[in-house]
Chains A and B, each alone.
Chain A
Amino acid sequence: MGAAGSKLEKALGDQFPEGERYFGLENFGNTCYCNSVLQALYFCAPFREQLLEYYGNGKNTGDAEENLLTCLADLFTQISSQKKKTGVIAPKRFVQRLKKQNELFRSYMHQDAHEFLNFLLNELVDILEKEAQAVKSDPETSPPEKIANGPKHALANGVSKEPLVTWVHKNFQGILTNETRCLQCETVTARDETFFDLSLDIEQNSSITSCLKNFSSTETLNAEDKFFCDKCCSLQEAQKRMKIKKPPHILVIHLKRFKYIEQLGRYKKLSYRVVFPLELKLSNTVEDADIEYSLFAVVVHVGTGPNHGHYVSLVKSHNHWLFFDDENVEMIDESAVQTFFGSPQEYSSNTDHGYILFYESIGASNNKS
């Protein structure tokens, strides 16, 4: 382990970024789903920054009740404050807390990295919202509200959630518009929903661009699946499409590689080759925003099936690409990213497939600090 660390330091030489730490995470028995996502989040610069800032603020108030948020902040602080530049850390408290919080992750079974990410982000938001409510009487110390700038996105109708925008929202939340056009009366009903990530259906030998296009393609609701039109007051045929109304600052794309096959009665892993560019623009937006994103992390599923295998992550930090495999951290060439696209044919021996992609918007962005 130590040797591996020094190897990385050697590889980077005097290019080792000032103040940066590259630490592997110990595996506590099938916790690679957790480790791979944690690394991706750690190297999500605005998220890490704001988490550490929050942690700093939290310490001052002396509020010490342990939750997933404090455990995560603890872990990130622990990594960033290491004296050594490389090494291994055991995310023990975090994993214990996670298992305590959610029985899903309690077993030693292989877990889904996307489910974990989803659970974690929602949990963090819940904690922040609760805290915000607790201090509502004293608006001055409400951290989430304070950071908010830019336009507020009141969620249209629908579920009455408080329009509280925490820093987790500010990083990850985007808004989708679900437009349904009744084919009888031509009325367009638009319903907004928020998302932390986009789950995309994938096709063999396609690109993320193409998957995003399919995600937003028009779908006709008919037969069994008619739409209840409020104006016609009846079930009608309709056309539906999903567009991105507000693109998130951090765009997380989940490739639906685990598909339930009815004939088999179980999930199957799709090893399809889905190429993802290092830079991406969303074209399925409501306004032609042309916001450019840059890839900074990939969670990779290794293995042939959904119930076993391994997770690793690729992370871009200060223009270097790093490969995190639990305890091990290695430097890789940018061109190595394309070895994780998937297999153009089913029989391939290559089982390392990009599963969750993390893009950060670059350039003109309203919430870049």
Chain B
Amino acid sequence: MINPSNGMISTSSTSANTQSPGLKTYFKTPEGRYKLHYEKTHPSGLLHYAHGKTVTQVTLANIKDKPAPSTLTAPPSGFSAGSGVRSAAARLLGTSNGSRGLSFAGGNGGSKSISSSSGGSSGNGSSSSSSSSSGSSRIGSLGTSSSSNSMINSNFDGKGTYLIFNVGDAIFISDLNSQDKEDPIKSIHFSNTSPVCHAFDQDAKDGHDLLIGLSSGDVYSVSLRQQLQDVGKKLVGAHHYNKDGSVNSSRCMSIAWVPGGDGAFVVAHADGNLYVYEKSKDGAGDSSFPVIKDHTHFSVSHARHSKSNPIARWHICQGSINGIAFSNEGAYLATVGRDGYLRVFDYSKEQLLCGGKSYYGALLCCAWSKDAKYILTGGEDDLVQVWSMEDRKVVAWGEGHNSWVSGVAFDSYWSPPNSEGTGENVVYRFGSVGQDTQLLLWDLEMDEIVVPLRRCPPGGSPTFSTGSQSSHWDSVIPVGTLQPAPSMCDVPKLSPVVAHRVHMEPLSGLVFTQESVITVCREGHVKIWMRPGASESQPSNSETISSTSLKEKPLLSSKIGSSTYKQ
């Protein structure tokens, strides 16, 4: 299975499952078979170095075609049309979708010119970033960028959908659709530290669209396009934050762009702190924060200096923050941590809204439903937890994993087979992966109780403004209350629709795309499972996009029940 010529394991679409003898290459669901399409992995030499030190996370990144000035380009083939950009590390699932991915005029893919390392030169994007698109501040912070322009990576054609995954001290970038190119097409090495988490924003305005958090606490923002154009093994044109851990030297655990945040991003650390950065700021000012007086309570401090970057520190909990996720429009931020608590914040108000404790043990991952009504968490109690924002409590426990749950995600591309127009039943499909090497798929079916549609103003803070719905729990549970662990008998149980052993190693994450489910194991093997009906060779755009638009309907006519759950 190892191709010794260049030390890379080549991706082979035909001989799938090369890494996993004895594992089935398909699994059945009510809607049909998911088939293993192919695997991605990394040079084998890293295997033992990587062992135990870092856990591989995968981020999906869609680089759009260079925006043509006046005409709308035809959608690029395959995944890039609709799969959008999702970060498994940040668990921001279900945000962008077909409709957004197709609006090519609005977005822009970052630096147009190969010779310039200064990032955004495209008028569309940089015009709106008021505080100077400040390319200069992020040139060559690693010192290698100047020499990197002479050679052009022949594997990169300027667009496409990529998988970004970390293994050991390296980041690998793989072309999601590539089966014949040398793969991964790019590796970036970090000395004396390891990348831990990453996030991608396809609508980044000035080219810097990829964030990387390291075990040393350091953070980089770069242009993915620029990395792909370069042939070196170092980051190019990177902007460096929290240099040498000067602000916080504990490990980065999770990183995320603030949706609609105009280049703002947050980094969660292993010491329970989360920092807010603005990528346009060079961070020259003093960025020290006051000593945390009470480690057990949530507190926010803003930088004293207007020039400093990070601009704010959120002390969230004792012990590590293991995962963070923004709701679709960025109104809410969810965090999970070592202390076993899920916490939900109103991001703009910097206020703790609600949260609750796991059955026992740490929580490891979290993800929002697209409509921001539900949060999934997974943790060391082997349970997949469904948290309802409406009820402000756990409404279901998914039992089925035989070990810790390390990745959860809603499948926002899935639509129930018989949802034709009626919208009687809202069914959410979600997936989870665990250290038991299994991928589980679940259906969360809500009851027939019709509640009035509550509009969520985009970007705003929708929850408590108006409506009779909100008042009932406001009176019962004050804002900011954390719920204790529920009793085993108090929580309805869910059973998985499907359980499939997908890897040989414990899993660390999953991503849903329009055509597939992507699973990744701790050791850095990635598998792409095609959805039923998705053609293996030529994924059809029209079919999948229309199904996405169908999906919108049931989500709008929302109804929330509480009692019945599909078995």
Contact = CB atoms under 8 A, between A and B. Distances in A.
Given A206-B436, A339-B52, A350-B51, A345 B505 contact: yes
Interface in A62-114: none
Interface string B254-296: 0000000000000000100000000000000000000000000
Contacts of B487: 288, 290
A290 B404 contact: no
A278 B320 CA distance: 14
A203 interface: yes
Interface stretch (B68-76, B112-120, B300-308, B356-364): B356-364
Interface string B316-359: 00011000000000000000000010000000000000000001
Nearest to A295: B361
B269 to A, nearest CB: 13
A277 interface: yes
A346 to B, nearest CB: 10
A142 B190 CA distance: 67
Contacts of B435: 205, 207, 273, 275
Interface string A280-322: 1101000010101000000000000000000000000000000
Interface string B427-443: 00000000111000000
A141 interface: no
Contacts of B179: none
A283 B361 CA distance: 14
A17 interface: no
B128 interface: no
A203 B506 CA distance: 13
Given A273-B506, A345-B504, A348-B51, A205 B381 contact: no
B488 A275 contact: no
Contact of A210 (B52, B359, B361, B382): B382
A349 B504 contact: no
B206 interface: no
Nearest to A278: B361
Interface string B414-436: 00000000000000000000011
A334 B361 CA distance: 13
Nearest to A214: B402
Interface string B48-72: 1001100000000000000000000
Interface in B460-512: 485, 487-489, 504-506
B360 A292 contact: yes
Contacts, number: 76
A349 to B, nearest CB: 7
Contacts of A280: 360-361
B365 to A, nearest CB: 15
Interface string A205-249: 111011000000000000000000000000000000000000000
Nearest to A349: B48
Interface size bucket, A side?
20 to 34
A279 interface: yes
B427 to A, nearest CB: 28
Given A277-B361, A288-B488, A207 B382 contact: yes
A173 B398 CA distance: 32
Contacts of B505: 205, 344-345
A281 B485 CA distance: 11
Interface in B500-550: 504-506, 522-523
B17 to A, nearest CB: 15
Interface in A334-369: 334-335, 339, 344-345, 348-350
Contact of A279 (B52, B320, B340, B504): B340
A290 B435 CA distance: 24
A205 B360 contact: no
Nearest to B319: A334
A277 B360 contact: yes
Contacts of A207: 380, 382, 402-404, 435-436
A206 B380 contact: no
B360 A281 contact: yes
Q: Report which residue of B319, B380, B506 has the largest number of chain A beta carbons within 10 angstroms of its beta carbon.
A: B380
A345 B521 CA distance: 13
Contacts of B522: 344
Contacts of B359: 281
A192 B82 CA distance: 60
Contacts of A278: 361-362, 380
A209 B320 CA distance: 22
Contacts of B506: 205, 273, 344
Contacts of A275: 380, 403-404, 435
B51 A283 contact: no
A350 B487 CA distance: 37
Contacts of B488: 281, 283, 288, 290
Contact of A205 (B380, B437, B523): B437
Contacts of B361: 277-280
Contacts of A283: 488
Contacts of B404: 207, 275, 277
Interface string B352-393: 000000011110000000000000000011100000000000
A207 B506 CA distance: 11
Nearest to B521: A344
A207 to B, nearest CB: 4
A210 B489 CA distance: 18
A191 B381 CA distance: 30
B403 to A, nearest CB: 4
Contact of B403 (A210, A279, A335): A210
Nearest to B340: A279
Nearest to A274: B403
Given A205-B402, A344-B505, 5 more contacts: A207-B404, A209-B382, A275-B435, A279-B360, A350-B52
Closest 3 CB pairs of A and B: A277-B361, A277-B380, A210-B402
27 contacts: A205-B403, A205-B435, A205-B436, A205-B437, A205-B505, A207-B403, A207-B436, A209-B381, A210-B382, A210-B402, A210-B403, A273-B435, A275-B380, A275-B435, A277-B360, A277-B361, A278-B362, A279-B380, A280-B361, A290-B488, A292-B360, A335-B270, A344-B437, A344-B506, A344-B523, A345-B504, A348-B51
Interface of B: 48, 51-52, 270, 319-320, 340, 359-362, 380-382, 401-404, 435-437, 485, 487-489, 504-506, 522-523
